[in-house]
């Protein structure tokens, strides 16, 4: 069976890219990364792709006078590589509505909060400032509105006494590295269908345990 062709879009260190690279190295993983694309020439994640022998491309957003022109170049490259699923992994550019709509239900994102809480940037500092006891991450399909779209998977992570933003971020990131490859697997296996604002996953049992923090 043909593996689903992925493009991973990054802007920085590429830790979730590496998690996807590691997952795709397994012979039974139903997806392969055929392109890693960055809007920043110095993105550390490009080295992860090069080490794995994955083609990379840089589309420097500073070279484009308008977002639409930048997005058009992304679209051209993605289609030229036969991409079937776009994975945003720390890609720090807002995409135009036209681009998002062109890739509807074929583009996913990972966000370091339990959406719909703490959309946007500085999620961990904001979560700590709000005094939440549980943080986490979300993989979701992309929609024109920022950090909106049908949710595929979430992981809840306890906030511990003494946490600062960096400590909480590290704990959430470990959960991200588990969630993103799982979400891609479900899509590649054809188990995901969209019903309005929900993503339904065939053959997956929901978790029934409860995370209580602080514990009794």
Active site residues per annotation: 111
Interatomic CA distance for residues 184 and 89, integer angstroms: 12
Could you give the angle at the alpha carbon of 154 between the alpha carbons of 116 and 1, nearest 5°? 125
Residue whose entry in the numeric block shows the structure tokens 């993983």: 29
Interatomic CA distance for residues 137 and 125, integer angstroms: 14
Interatomic CA distance for residues 196 and 58, integer angstroms: 35
């Amino acid at each position: 069976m043909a593996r689903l062709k992925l493009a991973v879009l990054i802007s920085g260190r590429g830790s979730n890219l590496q998690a996807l690279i590691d997952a795709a190295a397994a012979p039974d993983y139903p997806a392969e990364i055929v392109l890693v694309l960055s809007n920043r020439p110095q993105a550390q994640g490009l080295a992860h792709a090069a080490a794995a022998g994955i083609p990379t491309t840089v589309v420097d957003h500073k070279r484009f006078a308008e977002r639409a022109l930048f997005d058009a170049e992304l679209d051209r490259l993605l289609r030229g590589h036969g991409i079937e699923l776009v994975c945003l992994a720390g890609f720090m550019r807002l995409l135009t509505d036209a681009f998002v709509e062109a890739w509807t239900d074929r583009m996913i994102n990972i966000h370091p909060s339990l959406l719909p809480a703490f959309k946007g940037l500085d999620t961990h500092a904001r979560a700590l400032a709000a005094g939440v006891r549980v943080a986490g991450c979300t993989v979701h399909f992309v929609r024109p509105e920022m950090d909106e779209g049908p949710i595929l998977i979430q992981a809840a992570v306890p906030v511990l006494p003494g946490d600062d933003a960096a400590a909480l971020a590290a704990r959430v990131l470990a959960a991200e590295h588990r969630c993103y490859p799982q979400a891609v697997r479900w899509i590649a296996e054809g188990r995901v269908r969209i019903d309005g604002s929900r993503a339904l996953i065939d053959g997956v049992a929901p978790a029934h345990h409860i995370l209580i923090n602080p514990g009794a």
